[in-house]
Amino acid sequence: MSRRVAAFCPGHISGYFKRVDGPDAATTGSVGAGLVISEGVLACVTPAERTDITVWQTDHSRNRVRIAGDSPPIRYAMKKLSVDASVMTECRLPVGAGFGLSAAALLATITALNQLYDIGMDERRIAHLAHETEIVHRTGLGDVTSCRGGGMVVRTVAGIDAPVRRIHGLSGPVSAVSFGPINTPSVLGSPGQMEKVAAAFPSGEPKTIEDFFSYSRAFTEKSGLITPQVREVLDFCDHNGINASMTMLGNGVFAYGDDAEPILSRFSSVHSMAVAKNGPVLLKEEP
Amino acid sequence: MSRRVAAFCPGHISGYFKRVDGPDAATTGSVGAGLVISEGVLACVTPAERTDITVWQTDHSRNRVRIAGDSPPIRYAMKKLSVDASVMTECRLPVGAGFGLSAAALLATITALNQLYDIGMDERRIAHLAHETEIVHRTGLGDVTSCRGGGMVVRTVAGIDAPVRRIHGLSGPVSAVSFGPINTPSVLGSPGQMEKVAAAFPSGEPKTIEDFFSYSRAFTEKSGLITPQVREVLDFCDHNGINASMTMLGNGVFAYGDDAEPILSRFSSVHSMAVAKNGPVLLKEEP
């Protein structure tokens, strides 16, 4: 039986953000704040002469569905490492819906490959490669920086080496519903819409989870990105005193605390998770 | 056996576009040009006391996968019509990847419901409802206008009642590869990127399919939206003299003519189709 290494990396829900362009990929990214979540991506790697990558998703009924037979970002990172392997990633949350799963998939896969082939990268080099891949492939801006550790993350400087503030000890559950991706053409062709998003960025920094939801919600309202489904859920959360905001960027809502799950469940299947305590972790190594 | 009506609507690949905001949904949309394609969405509707909507996709291996258990835009349109029904939609192309499938799903479903319940809407009222739904739910801008008929479509005025120019008689095959959706955060936070997209809109109007690819390709190059995978495919198409451009907006490439399919197949599974001759069509009615 061939050697096999598995690693897990948490996902990330962004509450508010602003794109920042730097002179290179390492300094390009975003500022903002979000929650690192206990749901994320599991990557399993085994040695192979030709790289093959399969993306699996496990749905609410525990059916495992093969959702892609390749991943250009993972392939790009592997080319940079000059390694070939058989890679399988698996997640439960929906892909492309604002849960930072591309960053999680990259960090989990590179962490597992580093161990499998004794590449000897430290955590920082792993994160740099994952972040560069995200910037080049336009799959994310601040998710790798956030997913390197757990907690509620406040980023006031952009890029992979920028300092971040992590607030730990948030023990309440995080619930989310997703109605799919945000439609790109409806915003892309409109500089006015984009300026609105950039102008919605709050001044100041959240210090508590309540602050975070208040900043995120103000951003959501000013951004002009609220869809009819999100509006309906947010209004109902307000009515019931639930801390809730729109997942940036996906057509969905996330909320915090014990009372959130039954409220959200009126609208769609709820993804239940916690605030993650750690970033990527190696899971096991078979002999 | 309960009555059942099926309708099909073609999809639409946008080559270039610009968002235009009008005073209401009917006049909001986009200008640009694209190809109406023979792949699209099949909708089957049967009477039901409570609305349920299931979205199916058939993959390259002819596996039928249930990809969603609801569709907020379809639900919205049905609420406007004050009808309940069991709705099933099916497509072969990937969803959210720039093939105009949300417009096709709305036009097919509303066309089928109109027949099922003898609602008596004419083609224009059906198109108005589908377009309003797209604008409200941010699922599209110019796709409904385009999918009302077939051909290569040039839209110089935005909105659902705007005149369009259709060029028919294009008999060559259309081929497309998709690497997934475009990442929204990487563009959304950046007004500079958005201005670039708006500024990339070409002056003049394409009169032939070669013109169309030349306009689309110039827009693609100026837009700053080209991903590494798309760049690789476009370069290879250029090298082989293939008319090709980026699907707006999805991370993919579409190309025209007999030689395109073998070229694109080097990069990913190819979706093979034709330029559609017509818009939505009723398929059958049982019994």
| B120: contact with A, CB 8 A cutoff | no
Give the pLDDT of residue B180.
83
* Cβ-nearest to B189 among A139, A198, A228: A198
- Give chain B as a DSSP string: ---EEEEEEEEEEEEEEEEE--SSGGG-EEEEEEEEEEEEEEEEEEE-SS-EEEEEEE-TT--EEEEES--HHHHHHHHHHT--EEEEEEESSPTTSSS-HHHHHHHHHHHHHHHHTT----HHHHHHHHHHHHHHHTS-SSHHHHHTB-SEEEESS-STTS-EEEE----SEEEEEE--PPPSHHHHT-HHHHHHHHHTPPSS---SHHHHHHHHHHHHHHHT---HHHHHHHHHHHHTT-EEEE-TTSSEEEEESTTHHHHHTTTSPPEEEEB-SBS-EEEEEE-
The CA distances from residue B94 to A250, B44, B98, B229, in Å, are 18, 19, 9, 17
The mean pLDDT value for A44-64 works out to 89
Q: With an 8 Å Cβ cutoff, is A179 touching chain B?
A: yes
Average pLDDT over residues A53-63: 84
Q: Where are the domains of chain B?
A: 4-164+282-286, 166-274
The residue in chain A having the minimum alpha-carbon distance to the alpha carbon of residue B65 is A65
Residue A58, chain B, CB below 8 Å: the answer is: no
In chain B, what residues touch A198 (CB-CB under 8 Å)? 189-191
Residues 6+ apart with CB under 8 A from B77: B106, B109, B110, B129, B130, B133
Max alpha carbon distance in chain B (Å)?
A: 57
Residues of chain B below pLDDT 50: 1
| B166-274 matches B4-164+282-286 in CATH topology | no
pLDDT-derived band at A64, boundaries 50, 70, 90: confident
The tens digit of pLDDT for each residue in B233-279 reads 999 999 999 999 999 989 999 999 999 999 999 999 999 999 999 99
CATH 1.10.8 fits B166-274, yes or no: no
CATH of domain A168-274: 3.30.70
N- to C-terminal Cα separation, chain A: 8
Chain A contact set for B72 (CB, 8 A): 179, 227-229
Please write the tens of the pLDDT for every residue from A99-138: 999 999 999 999 999 999 999 999 999 999 999 999 999 8
Architecture of the structural domain at A4-165+275-286: 2-Layer Sandwich (3.30)
State whether residue B65 sits within 8 Å of chain A by CB.
Answer: yes
Instruction: Give domain B4-164+282-286's CATH architecture.
Output: 2-Layer Sandwich (3.30)
* Complex confidence, ipTM: 0.78
- Burial category of A277 from C-beta neighbours within 10 Å (exposed 0-12, middle 13-18, buried 19 and up): middle
Which one of B65, B248, B249 has the shortest CB-CB distance to A65?
A: B65
User: What per-residue confidence (pLDDT) applies to A244?
Assistant: 98
B124/chain A closest Cα distance in angstroms: 22
Q: Please provide residue A169's backbone torsions phi and psi, each rounded to the nearest 5 degrees.
A: 85, 15
Query: Is residue B61 within 8 angstroms of chain A, CB to CB?
Result: no
Instruction: Show residues of chain A in contact with B182, CB under 8 Å.
Output: 138, 184
Residue B286 confidence (pLDDT): 56
| Closest B-chain CA to A18 | B189
Q: Per the CB < 8 Å rule, is A183 touching B18?
A: no
- Residues A168-204 have pLDDT tens digits of 999 999 999 999 888 888 888 888 888 999 999 999 9
Query: If pLDDT is split at 50, 70 and 90, which confidence band does A65 have?
Result: confident
- In this predicted structure, what is the pLDDT of residue A40? 97
Q: What percent of chain A has pLDDT over 70?
A: 98
Give A138→chain B minimum CA distance, Å.
5
Residues of chain A in contact with residue B70, where contact means CB-CB under 8 angstroms, are: 268
- Please, what is the average pLDDT of chain A? 94
